[in-house]
Structure 1
Amino acid sequence: MADEDAPLPPHANGNGQEENGHVPEIELIIKASTIDGRRKGACLFCQEYFMDLYLLAELKTISLKVTTVDMQKPPPDFRSNFDANPPPILIDNGMAVLENEKIERHIMKNVPGGYNLFVQDKEVATLIENLYSKLKLMLLKKDDVSINSLLSHLRKINSHLEKKDTRFLTGDTMCCFDCELMPRLQHIRVAGKYFMDFQIPTDLRYLWRYMLHMYQLDAFTQSCPADQDIVNHYKQQQNVKMKKHEELETPTFTTSIPMELDIQDE
């Protein structure tokens, strides 16, 4: 296992001491890159919880440590400690929390500040569910029906953002839904472009503005996997072998917006 080398916010990877007392250290174990076995992998849930906890570390309610584990060659202590359960795995005060739903519940109920991240909004919850399944269907089918289904879903999100006219899904403060949606939008953007030359239409102005705001946040950029790792994630699903030269490529990160969209100051 390797400690994640991305810069973490103040009170992350530190002693976790506040003037008024102890700030608990939370460790998040995430899947490593399937290309080099060390950097961040392209697991959506790993990035989602990384973002949740990063936001809390920025607020100094916790100290955050992020560790990557190569699931192709997991170390012996990982197998024995976690019974081969795959990441994400959250460790709080020596207690390991396994399974996504339990991790989410633990952050909400037991991690200081976590409750404020998990807002209740049925409209937004319904709006973003099934988005990822539509990406996977498009990559599998590669037909107009699946493409239009994904586009229709993206247009609904764009319309919601236009109606709200806020920086994020539920307001001007990030919440759990943003930590869930943005990694999926990144996969749509990177994998869709690579496999099908699919691009999020520029007329979805409010969606692009939302993505611009997210690209400016450390919580997203520090948790975001490289483009190559996102692509390789889907190559593995399709049983496509990685080419040798891909291991030597310098990681790239798509975090810009189309030049024709002049929304910098909005």
Structure 2
Amino acid sequence: MKLTSSARAREQMRLNQQREAKPAQPGPKGIPSTVPVGITNVIPTGLPTHPNAPKPAYVMVVSANGDSTRIGDCPFSQRVLMTLEEKHLPYEGRFIDVENKPTWFLQMYPEGKVPTMFIDQKWVGDADIITEMVEKKISIPTMRTPPEKASIGLKIFPLFVKFLRSNDPGDGSEQALLAELQALNEHLKIEDAAYKNPFVNGRFPSMLDMNLAPKLYHMDVALKHFKMWSLPPDLVYLEAYMKKLFTRPSFTKTKPPEDLVIRGWQRHLSSVGQ
């Protein structure tokens, strides 16, 4: 049968892809077969959802306190999982109880940091480094944040923690948090004028949005519970941004329940003498 020019082109592309295809890298040894996969992004056929993806990636994230079968309240773990979800990367995630780390995990990765991911044939235990490496490896869809925007909103989380710990209404901690929230609101207002209903870097989510989403969620849940405090109504762009983040599939799949977030911050407040 004689192929048309378009059919020949497709066949040549298929052959080229076969020649260029690399064998899947083996996964890490040391994960017991009895340890269940806690969270995954592998389609039913078992094939990866991205042609250049690890097959699959292995990631360890914080479990619920005292329950290694449920996702925990770690915003850094959620950030890593959200990034993998947004990149449509196949992965297998296991939950690690950081207060009682299993022996097999420490033998496999003596540093014991969580979250951690097996990437480039080694364990990497830092959310900043993990997400940066993922972005470099899989640049489509791009989630790069331009340097001039990379620090937007990053003071919010430490200022939220300071306000949450505070028992003194006059210490300025609430005002400092509000100033940062207002600054983020103003930035989103400018982006909205250009793109309508945007993320921090325009129309599409970036690595910075993945960083901010879990932290804003913790702020929203913890301050409502412990201080009866909610976002001021004039921060309309920030409110819309948070709603958009909190309803994304990557967020809803990886978020901890509110009760776990509250319990986590209760332990934190107890540990600092409140």
TM-score range, shorter chain: 0.7 to 0.9
**Correspondence for 1:79 among 106, 109, 124:** 106
**Correspondence for 1:3 among 37, 47, 64:** 37
The alpha-carbon distance between structure 1 residues 17 and 210, as it changes in their structure 2 partners (threshold 3 A), is: closer
CA contact (8 A) 2:60 2:96 kept: yes
Deviations 1:31-72 (A, max 9, x none): 001153321111111111111111111xxxx31222211122
Q: Report deviation, 1:77.
A: 0.5
Matched, 1:105 2:132: yes
Q: Report deviation, 1:23.
A: 5.6
**Correspondence for 2:154 among 119, 122, 129:** 129
Task: State how far apart, in whole Å, the 2-side matches of 1:19 and 1:182 are.
Answer: 24
CA contact (8 A) 1:78 1:84 kept: no
> In structure 2, the residue corresponding to 1:87 is in which secondary structure?
coil
**Correspondence for 2:205 among 174, 197, 200:** 174
CA contact (8 A) 1:45 1:100 kept: yes
Task: State how far apart, in whole Å, the 1-side matches of 2:217 and 2:101 are.
Answer: 27
- How do residues 49-64 of structure 1 correspond to structure 2 at under 5 angstroms? 49-57=80-88, 62-64=89-91
Matched, 1:205 2:232: no
Equivalent residues, number: 231
Task: State how far apart, in whole Å, the 2-side matches of 1:88 and 1:41 are.
Answer: 11
Deviations 1:191-241 (A, max 9, x none): 11111111111221111111221222111111111111111221222236x
Q: What is residue 71 of structure 2 aligned with on the other side?
A: 40
Q: Report deviation, 1:84.
A: 4.5
Unmatched 5+ stretches in structure 1: 241-266
CA contact (8 A) 1:109 1:115 kept: no
Of structures 1 and 2, the one scoring higher in RCO (CA 8 A, sep 6+) is 1
**Correspondence for 2:146 among 120, 138, 155:** 120
Matched, 1:222 2:250: no
Q: Which amino acid aligns with 1:181?
A: L
**Correspondence for 2:163 among 121, 129, 138:** 138
Q: Which amino acid aligns with 2:159?
A: K
Matched, 1:195 2:226: yes
TM-score if structure 2 supplies the norm length?
Answer: 0.76
TM-score if structure 1 supplies the norm length?
Answer: 0.78
Matched, 1:164 2:191: yes
Greater Cα radius of gyration, structure 1 or 2: 2
The alpha-carbon distance between structure 1 residues 98 and 156, as it changes in their structure 2 partners (threshold 3 A), is: same
Task: State how far apart, in whole Å, the 1-side matches of 2:53 and 2:150 are.
Answer: 34
Q: CA RMSD in A?
A: 2.4
CA contact (8 A) 1:187 1:230 kept: yes
Q: Report deviation, 1:17.
A: 4.5
The alpha-carbon distance between structure 1 residues 235 and 150, as it changes in their structure 2 partners (threshold 3 A), is: same
Bigger mean CA offset, 128-137 vs 83-92: 83-92
Task: State how far apart, in whole Å, the 2-side matches of 1:19 and 1:54 are.
Answer: 11
* Identity rate, percent: 20
> In structure 2, the residue corresponding to 1:71 is in which secondary structure?
coil
- How do residues 146-161 of structure 1 correspond to structure 2 at under 5 angstroms? 146-161=173-188
CA contact (8 A) 1:131 1:153 kept: yes
Q: Which amino acid aligns with 2:78?
A: Q
> In structure 1, the residue corresponding to 2:205 is in which secondary structure?
coil
Deviations 1:147-200 (A, max 9, x none): 111111111111111111042111111110110111111111101111111111
Task: State how far apart, in whole Å, the 2-side matches of 1:23 and 1:101 are.
Answer: 19
